[in-house]
Amino acid sequence: MSLFEQNFSVFLQGFGHTLLASIFALVGSLILGTIFAIMQVTNSRTARSIGNIYVQVFRNIPLLIITLFFYLAVAKVIKMTGFTAGTIALTLYTSAFIAESVRAGILSIEAGQMEGARANGLTFGQAMRVIILPQAFKVAIPSLGNQFINLVKNSSILAFVGGLDLMYQGNIVAANSFDTFTTYIIIGLFYLVITLPLSYYIQHLEHKLKKNA
């Protein structure tokens, strides 16, 4: 275990970056994904097309390519670190999947909910916010949970662009210590520290909502 003790602060720094990138990307992709999901279910043909194109583009390109695009191309115009470039790419990539989950959730809510709300005088936005989305998220929780866990694991993409995350630090420790096996076991355990509680929390939410339904 001396490898762990010797490199503790390095691991911890990696863990901090991974955690931070995950939180930013989770919040960002949830907001963006919801916006694009709503765009895809509006009456406006333009909004639907934009939503659709966005989702198709970011869902169908490898995350690594999106990351390199921000790190190599966009960073030439707007200065940003590898961490920032990676986190933005992770956010956009994940938001496409979240948009699909949320859209499926919205479509699973019977049309009568929106009609009742509109006939009652609510605007489309009010009806979405107060009536449709709360019900749609309940339906989407298992699928959103999967996306969030994928997001944490996918954050290892930061290592490719000097993002200082767990995987990046792990690569350095492994190279210096020559003990690749132990290093990556430790790294794997650190990922579990984030993903396991997240999984349990999602399961807990699912059970709670099932009981209320």
Partner 1 sequence: MSMIEFKDVQKYYGDFHALHDVNLKIDAGETVVLIGPSGSGKSTLIRTINGLEEIEEGQLLVDGFDLHDPKTDINKIRKNVGMVFQHFNLYNNKTVLENIMLAPRLVLHRDEAENKRIAMELLEQVGLADKANSMPAALSGGQKQRVAIARSLAMKPKALLFDEPTSALDPEMIGDVLDVMRDIARDSDMTLLVVTHEMSFAKAVADRVIFMADGRILEDSSTEAFFENPTEPRAKKFLSQVEHH
- How far apart (Å, rounded) are the C-alpha atoms in residues 36 and 95? 8
Nearer to partner 1, 138 or 153 (CB): 138
Burial (0-12, 13-18, 19+ Cβ within 10 Å), 78: exposed
* Binding-site ranges for partner 1 (CB under 8 A): 112-113, 115-123, 126, 130-131, 134-135, 213
Whole-number CA gyration radius for the chain: 20
Name the minimum Å distance from CB 206 to partner 1: 17
Name the minimum Å distance from CB 70 to partner 1: 38
- How far apart (Å, rounded) are the C-alpha atoms in residues 104 and 39? 13
Name the minimum Å distance from CB 213 to partner 1: 8
Nearer to partner 1, 129 or 204 (CB): 129
Name the minimum Å distance from CB 130 to partner 1: 7
- 35: nearest Cα among 122, 133, 110: 133
Nearer to partner 1, 62 or 134 (CB): 134
Name the minimum Å distance from CB 205 to partner 1: 15
- How far apart (Å, rounded) are the C-alpha atoms in residues 4 and 179? 11
Name the minimum Å distance from CB 118 to partner 1: 7
Cα angle value 142/28/96 (rounded, 5°): 60
Q: List b or e across 85-121, with b for residues whose CB sees 16 or more CB atoms inside 10 angstroms.
A: bbbbbbbbbbbbbbbbbbbebbeebeeeebeebeeee
Nearer to partner 1, 135 or 199 (CB): 135
Alpha helices in 41-132 (DSSP H): 45-59, 63-68, 75-77, 82-108, 111-119, 124-127
Nearer to partner 1, 129 or 176 (CB): 129
Nearer to partner 1, 131 or 149 (CB): 131
